[in-house]
Chain A
Amino acid sequence: MYLATTGRPDAPPAPRGARRRVPGTVLALGTVSLVTDVSSEMVTAVLPLYLVLGLGLSPLQFGLLDGLSTGATALVRLLGGATADRGGRHKTVGGLGYALSALSRLGLLLAGGATGGIAGAIAADRLGKGVRTAPRDALITLHSPPGDLGRAFGVHRAMDTTGALLGPLAAFALLWATADAYDAVFAVSFCAGTFGVLLWLLLVPGRTRHAAPAPRPVPRARTGPLAALRSPGHRRIVLCAGLLGAATIGDSFLYLLLQRRLELDPTWFPFLPLGAAAVFLLLAVPAGRLADRLGRRGPLLCGHGALFLAYALLLVPLPDAVVLPGVLVLLGGFYAATDGVLMALTGPFLTEGRQASGLALVQTAQALARVGAAVAFGALWTASGPETALACALVALAVAVCCCARLLPRDPAPEPRDRRERTDRPCPP
C-alpha cells in the first residue's frame, strides 16, 4: 500500500514552535478564496430578491431555477478532482473553476430578464465552485508541512469565511447606496471575481515550479475518480465523513427551529448565520493548531459534540438569551473544529498524485450524506413533528460520533509538539 508523505520534498522545512510561518501558498490560496467569496456571497445574498423583485419571477419558479444543480455539483467535484490529478494540473483546473464562476456574474448581467440565461449563469457558478474546491484543497495539502496541515486549513477557512461574511454586507450596502440597483451588485461581484482569478494566476504556484524535474513514478494500478480509495485509512475517513454528514440536519432546519423557538423579529433572522460565521472565523485557526498538536481526530469528534449540544439546546427549556448565542457559538465552533480539520485529517492518507480526487471523494461523501440527511429530517418533521425529529437527530449524531471514534484512523506519524504552548479549548462550553 502506497501512502504518501504529504508535502513535497521542496516544501519548506517546518520550524518548531508557535511562530512557524504559514506557507505563502496557503496565504495566497486564502486570499483568492477571500476575494472570491466576497464576490460569490454578494450574489447569493441578493439573488432571491433580484429574481422576485427585479424580474417578477414567482418564488416557485425561483425554486426550480435554484434546485437544478445540487446533484450535479457532486459529480463535477469528483471529475474536477480526477482531472486536476492528471499530471498535477491543480492550478489549471482550479483556475478554470474560478474563471467560470467569475464569468457567471457577467452572464447574470447580460441575461437581463431571460430565465434561461439566469439559470445558465447560476449553473455555471455552481459548476465552477464544484470544479475548484478539490484542486484548491489539494494545493493546500501539497504546499504545507504534514504536521501543520490543521493550521494551514484553519488559516484558509478563516480567510474564506471572512469573505463570506463581507460579501453579504457589501451587497446590502450597495443596494442601500444605489436604491436597489441589483445590476450594480453583479458588476461589482464580477470585478471582485476577476480580481480573484488574477490573484490565482499570479500568486498560486503552478506545476512548473514545484514538479520534480523527472516525471514522477506514479503507480498507475487504477485511475479514475475512485482510485484514491485504495488506502484503507482514506476509505475509513470517507465512510466517517458520510456517517457524520448523515447525522447532521442542515443549517436551514437549525435556523428554522431557532426561529420557532425565539421571539425575535423575523426581519433579523437573515443575520443569524453571520453570527455563526463570525465564531467559525475566530475559532478556525486555534482549532487547526490544536488538531496539529493533539491529533486531528479529537477536534473533529469534539466539533460534532458541539453540534450535539446545539441540537440539545433547542430541546431544553432555557431562556432565549441563552439559547440564541449558545446555538450560534456551538454551530460556529462545530464548523471551526470540523471543516478544515477533516481535510487535514485526510491529508496524510492521500495517495501521491491523487490528492485532489482523494479530497473530492471525502467532500462528496459528506455533501451527499448531508443532502440525504436534510431530506430525511424534513420527512421526519412532517411525520411526527419537530421535537421528535430533533430527538432522532440527536440519537443519530451520538451513534455516528461513537462509530467514528472507533473508525477514524489516527494520524500516521504523530509529531511530538511542544506541550507548553497554551492549549485552546476545542469545544465551546
Chain B
Amino acid sequence: MPALTDATTRTRVWIIVLALLLLGGGATAYTLRTASGRAAATGTSAEPGFVLDGGAGALYARDSATGRVARVDPAAPGGRTARGPACDRFHAAGNTALCLQRRPGVPARSYAIVLDRRLREVRRIGLPGVPSRARVSASGSVLAWTMFTTGDSYARSSFSTRTSILDLRTGYLVKNVEQLPLTLGGRRHHAPDVNYWGVTFAADDNRFYATVSTGGRTHLVEGDVAAWSARALRENVECPSLSPDGTRIAFKKRVSPGPREPWRLYVLDLATGREHPVAERRAFDDQALWKDPRTLVYGHGGGVWSVPADGTGSPRLLATRASSPSLAAGPPAP
C-alpha cells in the first residue's frame, strides 16, 4: 500500500485513468450484455377468442414461460393455450377477472386491470408497488388486491403492503384498507406499522377476512366494508381464503421463525377455532383457492397443485410452470 502512495503523481494519474477505462468498460460491457435480449413482455392483452369460458372446472393460471394467462387442459398437464393477458398476478371469479401487471422501471408501479368475462378491459387503476395478491369475490362484484411498496424512503430497506378493495357495483375504490378502524384485543388499535394483505370475501360481498401485521405479529381480521370496521380474531394467520360455504379458512401459518421455509398450509374451522395442517408438508407461500368445499388449489415451486382440505390424501400436480390459479366455475356469460 505505501508503495502505491509513494508513486509519482504521473504514475498515479495513469493508474487512475487505466482503472477508469478498465472498470468503466467492464461495467458497460456487463450492462450491455445483460440488457440485450431482455424485452419487457408487459402490456400484452388477451387475444380475441381467449375468454373465461372453459366449462366448469377449467383451470386458468399464469404461464411462467410467457407471463400470460393460460387455460390449462385438465386432461393433459402441460397442454395449455397461453393467449391471455400478461399478468404478474391473476384471479377470476363470476364474470370478472383481475390482472395485476407490474410496470417496468423504478420506483415500482403497477396496474390493477379489471377485465370482463371476455377478458376485455373494464377499468385500469395505476398504483405504486409490486403485485402480491389478487382476489375476486365469488360473485365477481368485489375485488381486492395487495401491493408491496418499498417503504417510505428509498434508502429505508423495509417493505410495507398496501391493500385496496374495489366495489364494481358502485365503482367505489378503497385505496388503502388501513383507513378502516381496527379493533385488536378489544381495543381500538393505532400503530404506524399496520399492514393488511391477502383479502378474501364472504358470500355477501361485504364482509371480508384478511391478514393484519402490526408489532411483529400477524392477525386474522374480519372486516366489514359497509360498517367500516375491522377486528382481529386470532394470531398467526396469513393470506386467508374462505371456503365456499363460509365455515373454514385456508391460510398459511408461520411454523418457523427463520427466513427458510417459514410457512405451511393450514385450514381453520371458524366455528370451533380448531386448525389442522393439510397433506402439503412442504414450504408454502400463496393464497390458496377453494376448488370445491373439499379441495384446495395453490401455487408451489413454480407449479399449480391441489390437495384435500381435510388433511388427508396427498398433493397432486395440476400444471407445471404456472402460478396464480383460477377456476372458471361461474355462471355462463349472459
Contact = CB atoms under 8 A, between A and B. Distances in A.
B122 interface: no
Contact of A382 (B26, B191, B262): B191
Interface stretch (B44-52, B143-151, B166-174, B304-312): B143-151
A176 B26 contact: no
Interface string A19-53: 00000000000000000000001001111110011
Contacts of A265: 128
Contact of A172 (B35, B105, B151, B189): B105
A256 B24 CA distance: 38
Given A115-B259, A188-B27, A49 B156 contact: no
A181 B33 CA distance: 10
Given A59-B148, A184-B34, A201 B156 contact: no
B7 to A, nearest CB: 8
B228 to A, nearest CB: 19
A178 B107 contact: no
B5 A45 contact: no
B271 interface: no
A428 interface: no
Nearest to A116: B260
B6 A208 contact: yes
A386 B192 contact: yes
Interface string B97-125: 00000101111110000000000000000
A253 B1 contact: no
Contact of B31 (A115, A177, A269): A177
Given A183-B34, A191-B23, A45 B128 contact: no
Interface string A93-109: 00100000000000000
Interface string B242-278: 0000000000000000111010000000000000000
Contacts of B148: 52, 59
Given A59-B161, A201-B1, A265-B128, A168 B154 contact: yes
Interface residues of B, number: 58
Contacts of B226: none
A381 B194 CA distance: 12
Interface of A is mostly: helix
Given A181-B34, A266-B128, A266-B149, A206 B1 contact: yes
B1 A95 contact: yes
Interface in B1-33: 1-2, 4-7, 12, 15-16, 19-20, 23-24, 26-27, 30-31
Interface in B277-332: 285
B153 A273 contact: yes
Given A49-B130, A178-B38, A191-B24, A252 B151 contact: yes
A155 interface: no
B169 to A, nearest CB: 26
A66 B157 CA distance: 7
Contacts of B154: 44-45, 168, 270-271, 273-274
A92 interface: yes
Interface stretch (A129-137, A192-200, A407-415): A192-200
Contacts of B35: 177-179, 181, 184
Could you say which of B30, B260, B262 has the most chain A C-beta atoms within 10 Å of its C-beta?
B30
Contact of A252 (B1, B24, B34, B153): B153
A231 interface: no
Interface string A237-275: 000000000000001110110010000011111111110
Contacts of A174: 31
Interface in B144-188: 148-162
Interface centre among B2, B189, B193, B258 (most CB of A within 10 A): B2
A384 B191 CA distance: 9
B334 interface: no
B259 to A, nearest CB: 4
Contacts of A199: 16
A296 interface: no
A49 B156 CA distance: 12
B40 interface: yes
B16 A381 contact: no
A180 interface: yes
A48 B4 contact: no
A198 B27 contact: no
Contacts of A312: none
Nearest to A63: B158
Contact of A179 (B6, B104, B259): B104
Interface in A372-389: 378, 381-382, 384-386
A251 B153 CA distance: 9
Contacts of A253: 192
Nearest to B258: A64
A47 B19 contact: no
Nearest to B102: A53
Contacts of A95: 1
B12 A203 contact: yes
Contacts of A92: 1
Given A49-B130, A66-B158, A267-B128, A180 B1 contact: no
B30 A184 contact: yes
A201 B12 CA distance: 10
B34 A178 contact: yes
Contact of A178 (B12, B31, B153, B157): B31
B333 interface: no
Contacts of B149: 266
A75 interface: no
B27 to A, nearest CB: 4
Contact of A255 (B5, B31, B153, B161): B153
B65 interface: no
B262 A60 contact: yes
Given A177-B31, A199-B16, A252-B153, A270 B5 contact: no
Contact of B1 (A62, A66, A91, A381): A91
Nearest to A197: B19
A300 to B, nearest CB: 23
A65 interface: yes
A62 B149 CA distance: 13
Interface of A: 41, 44-49, 52-53, 57-66, 91-92, 95, 115, 119, 168, 171-172, 174-181, 183-184, 187-188, 191-192, 194-195, 198-199, 201-209, 251-253, 255-256, 259, 265-274, 378, 381-382, 384-386
Given A66-B157, A119-B259, A188-B30, 4 more contacts: A53-B108, A181-B35, A188-B31, A270-B150
14 contacts: A41-B155, A59-B148, A59-B158, A65-B259, A115-B259, A168-B154, A174-B31, A180-B38, A187-B26, A192-B27, A195-B20, A208-B6, A272-B153, A381-B190
The 3 closest A-B pairs by CB, nearest first: A59-B159, A270-B154, A178-B35
